[in-house]
Amino acid sequence: MKQKYEYKVAIYREPLLGSIFLGGSRVDPERYSKFLNSNASDGWEVVTMERELRRELLFFKREAFLTVMKREVA
């Protein structure tokens, strides 16, 4: 019997206020770990992730992680 999966794509980034006040914002590893662990407790497993810098309001940059997760469908 073939296993079936469902997928979830999430973009994780820090709030925009850090970018406005500091000129740029990086992802906090502890908060990102909590985000991943929260999804893992719901059965999601990370398939891949990619780091990117996103421009906000022309002048500000925010670091973001595009995360693809999957879990088995019952």
Domain assignment of residue 26, given as a range: 5-72
CA separation, residue 70 to residues 20, 29, 51, 57, 67 (Å): 34, 21, 19, 32, 10
How much is the pLDDT for 28?
A: 81
CA distance from start to end of the chain: 12
pLDDT in tens, the chain (74 residues): 788 999 999 999 876 654 444 444 677 889 899 999 999 999 999 999 998 876 666 666 778 899 999 999 97
63 closest CA partner among 21, 12, 10: 12
How much is the pLDDT for 23?
A: 45
Domain count, the chain: 1
- Full-model pTM: 0.74
